[in-house]
Structure 1
Amino acid sequence: MDTLNYHHLRYFREVANDGNLTRTAARVNLSQSALSTQIRTLEDRLGHALFDRVGRQLVLTEVGRIALDHADRIFGTGEELLAVLQGAGAASQPLRVGALSTLSRNFQMRFLKPVLGSSETPVILKSGSDTVLFDALTSLALDVVLTTEAPSRPEMTAHRIAEQTVGVHGDPSRMGYAHLKDMLVQEPLIVPTDNSIRTGFDSLIARLDVSPRIVADVDDMAMVRLLARENVGLAIAPSVVLADEIASGRLKTAPFDLNIVESFFAVTVQRRFPHPVLETLLRAPLQA
């Protein structure tokens, strides 16, 4: 199949927005017959009429309206491209964010809060494994990747944007312990499989010489939050994961220091034309 001729499409768009062939021909510096030929050639290529003539006016057919919608998007994208490369109006381009599928949704919301709901900076959010997301970042399909592990790839820069202590959180009825060791022995536990948290937790129970009752090994922080809310057990997690429940009093944080810290990273690659709002997000303190 032959490709679409975008010169024909541009002339069609000009006529469609003007509604008058003679006036458009004069404006684009073509003869009326030459402009008519351009439109007929596009109609032949598409296999449908694009205009109905009503008196001296050209009125779009149903196919014409569909074609104009696509033409506006096609040439609008081209105009945005020029604006981005010239540094003008660049903030309207979408911010493409990748987030580790197991990452806390609350953390993602806090990072993106300065731009969420902004008509000037639409957000495209994709989740997945670190390998998939980092490959997309390298190919420039993403602007930034949010994760809890700094990558070892030399072409990437890991910005440590937050650090949270990991605590024990759960229903207030489970909090009546004077010692951490007693709590870990007596209460059922929900433990993330996140590498840094799990490594710290394993070191903790070895140091305390306890064999805890783990009722859920979970690779998704959203599920950790849900299980804790349902009082399945006590959650070993950063407080950001359960921030809403803790603030409302539905869940409580035990007064024990686990000596476990979770780091959050925003990973980027060097680009000649980085997204204009990205630097602001990397420097902004996370909002509650």
Structure 2
Amino acid sequence: MKQLNYKHLRYFFTVAREGSIVKAAEVLHVSPQTISGQLTAFEDYLGIELFDRVGKRLVLNTEGKLALHYAEDIFSLGEELQQSLQAHDLTKTFIFNVGITDVVPKILVATILESAYELDGPVKLVCREGDYKTLLGELALNRIDLVISDRPLTTSIPIKAYNHLLGESGLSFYAKNNDAKKLKSDFPYSLDQSPLLISSDKSNQKANLLNWFESIDVAPEIVAEFDDSALMKYFGQLGHGVFCTPSIIEQHVCKQYDVKVIGRTDAVKERYYAISPERKMKHPGVRLLAETAEQLFASKRKQ
């Protein structure tokens, strides 16, 4: 049996992923004519067509979709092999690319990611912050190793990746010292008509929090919404309203922003996920990160 030409497979894979020969040529830094010739040679070798030609467009047919599925697995395994070998070569710097959605608390991420420096050999940690969909796009293009997010990957986003739950936490509510004592006595009902600082729609927290308030018949006055959770905390520090964070970072928030806890709830949960191309975590950085997160959330539950 003839050996599969992996160069041809790479050209096919790139065309299928990018959606056109022209875009694939840009990614691979070759001419469209080269891509077209290699693709034809690959189909001739297999004895089947992988695309239906619809005008000037190439559309994967049934055989093409099957071939793409195997190509994804083949190249994913190749990347895992490189990463594993690199992790065991103590003379090479291990580069760990992590995407972080901008709504995840940075102190929580920093605590978890610090474990990357426990890997054998020199480590270069590359952190990229952005919105959920942009980072998933980077993951699909293999530009990052995983995404840390407050929401899981759903079937509506067509990329091959898997959710790994890092942990979950209830919420803690804070106020400036002058208001904390008054609001603490009848929490959470004391929040009715009280000024509230809240995360924007980019976070899952907003909808969950508003649903909880409605269920207990409490209607705070929302005076500001924030994409940036750090900015929200600063406004809380200045006394402009109550705000909340995951309870797992409660000690840091009280110390850093000089505010007091007025109450907590487990009725609203914040969940955090590592989204990676691996069903089973084989990447050494991802595996260590998940183990660290599990220990961190477990230790907080015991407190």
> Counterpart of 1:212 in structure 2: which amino acid?
P
Counterpart Cα distance in 2 of 1:156 and 1:273: 11
* Aligned 1:218-233 pairs, distance under 5 A: 218-233=226-241
For the residue of structure 1 that corresponds to 2:243, the secondary structure is: strand
**Which piece of structure 1 moves more, 139-148 or 244-253?**
244-253
Tell me the TM-score normalised to structure 1 length.
0.63
Q: Is 1:105–2:106 an aligned residue pair?
A: yes
Counterpart Cα distance in 2 of 1:161 and 1:125: 18
**Which piece of structure 1 moves more, 115-124 or 167-176?**
115-124
Aligned-residue sequence identity (percent) comes to 18
Q: Return 5+ residue gaps in structure 1 as ranges.
A: 1-80
The answer on whether the counterparts of 1:169 and 1:236 sit within 8 Å (CA) in structure 2 is: yes
Aligned residue among 265, 270, 276 for 1:262: 270
> Counterpart of 2:133 in structure 1: which amino acid?
T
**TM-aligned CA deviation for residue 211 of structure 1:** 2.8
Structure that is richer in helix per residue: 2
For the residue of structure 2 that corresponds to 1:254, the secondary structure is: strand
Q: Return 5+ residue gaps in structure 2 as ranges.
A: 1-80
Shift in alpha-carbon separation, 1:86–1:102, aligned structure 2, 3 A = closer
Q: Is 1:196–2:204 an aligned residue pair?
A: yes
For the residue of structure 1 that corresponds to 2:104, the secondary structure is: coil
Counterpart Cα distance in 1 of 2:149 and 2:256: 27
For the residue of structure 2 that corresponds to 1:142, the secondary structure is: coil
Q: How well do the aligned residues superpose, as a CA RMSD in angstroms?
A: 3.1
**Matched residue, 1:286:** 296
**Matched residue, 1:145:** 147
For the residue of structure 2 that corresponds to 1:113, the secondary structure is: helix
> Counterpart of 2:166 in structure 1: which amino acid?
I
The answer on whether the counterparts of 2:87 and 2:94 sit within 8 Å (CA) in structure 1 is: no
Shift in alpha-carbon separation, 1:228–1:241, aligned structure 2, 3 A = farther
The answer on whether the counterparts of 1:162 and 1:265 sit within 8 Å (CA) in structure 2 is: yes
**Matched residue, 2:192:** 185
Counterpart Cα distance in 2 of 1:82 and 1:218: 41
Shift in alpha-carbon separation, 1:238–1:155, aligned structure 2, 3 A = same
**Matched residue, 1:174:** 179
Cα deviations by residue, 1:58-110 (Å, 9 ceiling, x for unpaired) = xxxxxxxxxxxxxxxxxxxxxxx979657641772210000012221111101
* Aligned 1:1-288 pairs, distance under 5 A: 85=85, 88-89=88-89, 92-116=93-117, 120-153=122-155, 155-175=160-180, 176-177=182-183, 178-193=185-200, 194-240=202-248, 243-247=251-255, 250-257=258-265, 259-270=267-278, 275-284=283-292, 285-286=295-296
Counterpart Cα distance in 2 of 1:160 and 1:262: 11
Cα deviations by residue, 1:231-255 (Å, 9 ceiling, x for unpaired) = 2211022134554232468212123
Shift in alpha-carbon separation, 1:210–1:242, aligned structure 2, 3 A = same
**Which piece of structure 1 moves more, 126-135 or 233-242?**
233-242
Shift in alpha-carbon separation, 1:111–1:256, aligned structure 2, 3 A = closer
The answer on whether the counterparts of 2:254 and 2:261 sit within 8 Å (CA) in structure 1 is: yes
Shift in alpha-carbon separation, 1:161–1:258, aligned structure 2, 3 A = closer
Aligned positions, number: 208
The answer on whether the counterparts of 1:97 and 1:142 sit within 8 Å (CA) in structure 2 is: yes
